[in-house]
Structure 1
Amino acid sequence: MTTTRQEAGGPFLSVRDLRVRFATEDGAVKAVDGLSFDLERGRTLGIVGESGSGKSVANQAVLGLHNPDNTTISGEILLDGEDLTRVGERRLERLRGNKVAMIFQDPLTALSPYYTVGRQIGEPFRKHRGASKREARERAVEMLAKVGIPNPRRRVDDYPHQFSGGMRQRAMIAMALVCDPDLLIADEPTTALDVTVQAQILDLLMELQREFGSAIIMITHDLGVVSRVSDDVLVMYAGRAVERGPVREVLNRPQHPYTWGLLSSMPRLHGDVDQELVPITGAPPSLLTPPPGCPFEPRCAFPDEVAGSPSGPHRCGTERPALPEGRGAACHLTGEQRRALFTTRIRPRLR
């Protein structure tokens, strides 16, 4: 096996043409279909989209968490130049929790009820750093204090059910960061928390990133979370990336009709309380038989704006739009059309 090392100044994580297929009785589910993105150290990438868009599936592939018996993965996942799709399980085990770690969506199910919180936080430290039980326990106390758990020396011996929801999420963050990973993947880390605890958790992640210099992937459906913590954003739909760019540009000047729909369906803090939200009509396509053209076409309000044959189907239904490198969107509308539609029909909804 041959691996390459990251070139100076290159991205720490580089995903190229990632495809994830799940074998089912009805056929292959194309859960991720040609995904590419880069992430540098010290930066945060927000990945947004509806449930089933492929956000979590793609990032679980980074950690090698899919069952190889029914999963086919192709493409490249270069972590510091090492292609994780070509390494064995033993190498992945050395990387998980050490160089790359994940904060799962539901800490109550991710944490074992049979072991104390301190033991679960300290276990990766023992495995990857060769620490003794006593050293691992002290490290767990240190990490609990770092994530803001009061009385950490006493709470280290508590079980997960003795922690509140916010405290369990903090414990999950402590477990993920116990070995100072270079890459942290946070999968909907604030979904089940009330808004005040959400803000505390997000502030904590940003503070710890500044301390450890980790690269962070924030998986969420909440554009408010993305605007708060992310440097860049990747919008996913039906297993594909449909828009990407710096977070302020994507949120202030979105280019894809799906991103327009996500923003239009959000309540506005200073908007008219009587103004109705504008939901995205329809449902995402089946990933067993994805459409040949733009996957968003059946739900899009603007396919007739795209030039096509007067007597035949327009391009949106027959031709898959490509996502350009850098800032851009996978859409057949021209840049001028998108700017005009956003200015006249979308932006007024967002005020």
Structure 2
Amino acid sequence: MSTPFLSLRDLRVHFSTEDGIVKAVDGLSFDLEKGKTLGIVGESGSGKSVTNMAILGLHDPRNTTMDGEILLDGKELISATESELEKLRGNKMSMIFQDALASLSPYHTIGAQIAETYRKHTGCSKKQARDRAIEMLRRVGIPQPDTRVDDYPHQFSGGMRQRAMIAMALVNDPELLIADEPTTALDVTVQAQIMDLLKDLQQEFGTAIIFITHDLGVIADIADDVLVMYGGRCVERGTKKQVLSQPDHPYTLGLLNSMPSLDGPVDVPLSPIPGSPPSLLNPPSGCRFHPRCAFAEKVPGGLCSTERPKLDVVEGRGAACHLTQEQKQDLFADFAATRHN
């Protein structure tokens, strides 16, 4: 069996605050192969972005404790020095942020920012770096790249800025690309163009992609596998088809029931998950979803509130839930019927 390109094992990321310890990520494991896309979904505060900032080594060590293991192509990242991480960031691994306007410097041209990223890791001449910037802008679909290369971020539309961010992220042909909700602020037409662009570039470069989002519709379009996070933990993992068609955790079912269906009746009311995500300063005991779960009372002995359910992943499929498979088949079917009738 081949070694995965990226591997996380029991990752824990805790922040020290004046109010106490925030357990932002609390025992997360997953693998990712080259050329594949892993979609990470969950509500705000579930630990999605914290996980990926940990992979890049971007957390402040003065108030952050990280335990576990992050292996990128065999290189352990948690114990890596800042200089080692700098050589990897923007080169072997790169990130597309949600807000391109906030991430790009307003004082430098688009081309200068892309060229600087290229020069930092290659040591090439300014002319070579500029030519590379023009090439990347052309590759991501920016019209007239030889002139737009000298424009500033405010002269680009939102969709064009996001394309420029993708060009910057891919300028050194990274093997791992982390996309943190890169289409959230874009209209649906531009969003679809960006998704197609990422898929085309992945085919061209063979890049491994982590795609963070709260939008299951986006996941259905781009992901190969899906990891569902809640309260800093993974609650479900599987292929896109498995997770979206046959959810195996009450939280995943709740997410699916709270979004509109494109092929169902238009007058069906949406069913939001009751309550709010847990405080990671003082998270619930046992299963962190149990205070909001419609099925917790079905598990005898109050197990959901006292014991953390195990996530046993077999051939890439698993869910951290105390319900038996027989219970899920009955309860999930009844629940879905109640919500959609």
Aligned residues: 339
What is the identity, as a one-letter code, of the residue corresponding to 1:165?
A: G
Matches of 1:52 and 1:170, distance apart in 2:
27
1:269 corresponding residue in structure 2? 262
Q: Does 1:318 align with 2:306?
A: yes
Secondary structure of the corresponding residue to residue 119 of structure 2: helix
1:89 deviates by 0.2
Matches of 1:344 and 1:171, distance apart in 2:
47
CA contact (8 A) 1:263 1:350 kept: no
Q: Structure 1 residues 82 and 347 mapped into 2: Cα distance closer, same or farther (>3 Å)? A: farther
2:214 corresponding residue in structure 1? 221
1:237 corresponding residue in structure 2? 230
User: Equivalent residues in 2 for 1:197-208 (5 A)?
Assistant: 197-208=190-201
Secondary structure of the corresponding residue to residue 244 of structure 1: strand
Q: Does 1:136 align with 2:129?
A: yes
1:341 corresponding residue in structure 2? 331
1:160 deviates by 0.2
Cα root mean square deviation, aligned? 1.1
Matches of 2:141 and 2:281, distance apart in 1:
45
1:3 corresponding residue in structure 2? none
Q: Does 1:80 align with 2:73?
A: yes
1:347 deviates by 5.6
Higher mean Cα deviation, 264-273 or 180-189?
264-273
Q: Return structure 1 stretches of 4+ with deviation > 3 angstroms.
A: 347-351
1:274 deviates by 2.0
Matches of 1:173 and 1:276, distance apart in 2:
37
1:214 deviates by 0.4
CA contact (8 A) 2:110 2:164 kept: yes
1:205 deviates by 0.1
1:171 corresponding residue in structure 2? 164
Matches of 1:303 and 1:76, distance apart in 2:
32
CA offsets 1:22-65 (integer angstroms, 9 cap, x no match): 11001110000000000000000000000000000000000000
Q: Structure 1 residues 133 and 348 mapped into 2: Cα distance closer, same or farther (>3 Å)? A: farther
1:256 corresponding residue in structure 2? 249
Matches of 2:230 and 2:261, distance apart in 1:
23
What is the identity, as a one-letter code, of the residue corresponding to 1:207?
A: D
CA contact (8 A) 1:268 1:350 kept: no
Higher mean Cα deviation, 140-149 or 320-329?
320-329
% identical aligned pairs: 69
CA contact (8 A) 1:307 1:315 kept: yes
In the alignment, which of 88, 91, 97 is matched to residue 95 of structure 1? 88
What is the identity, as a one-letter code, of the residue corresponding to 1:79?
A: L
CA contact (8 A) 1:97 1:124 kept: yes
Q: Structure 1 residues 350 and 76 mapped into 2: Cα distance closer, same or farther (>3 Å)? A: farther
CA contact (8 A) 1:255 1:339 kept: no
Matches of 1:132 and 1:64, distance apart in 2:
28
Matches of 2:4 and 2:249, distance apart in 1:
25
What is the identity, as a one-letter code, of the residue corresponding to 2:202?
A: Q
CA contact (8 A) 1:97 1:181 kept: yes
CA contact (8 A) 1:244 1:328 kept: yes
CA contact (8 A) 1:124 1:178 kept: yes
CA offsets 1:130-180 (integer angstroms, 9 cap, x no match): 111111100000000000000000000000000000000000000000000
CA contact (8 A) 2:26 2:232 kept: yes
CA contact (8 A) 2:15 2:65 kept: yes
1:305 deviates by 1.0
CA offsets 1:50-81 (integer angstroms, 9 cap, x no match): 00000000000000001111111111000001
User: Equivalent residues in 2 for 1:113-128 (5 A)?
Assistant: 113-128=106-121
CA offsets 1:194-228 (integer angstroms, 9 cap, x no match): 00000000000000000000000000000011111
What is the identity, as a one-letter code, of the residue corresponding to 1:184?
A: L
CA offsets 1:85-108 (integer angstroms, 9 cap, x no match): 011000000000000000001000
Q: Does 1:19 align with 2:12?
A: yes
1:349 deviates by 4.5
In the alignment, which of 292, 298, 302 is matched to residue 291 of structure 2? 298
1:270 deviates by 2.6
1:289 deviates by 1.1
CA contact (8 A) 1:46 1:218 kept: yes
1:161 corresponding residue in structure 2? 154
User: Equivalent residues in 2 for 1:53-68 (5 A)?
Assistant: 53-68=46-61
What is the identity, as a one-letter code, of the residue corresponding to 2:219?
A: V
Matches of 2:141 and 2:2, distance apart in 1:
34
Secondary structure of the corresponding residue to residue 300 of structure 2: coil
Matches of 1:187 and 1:238, distance apart in 2:
18
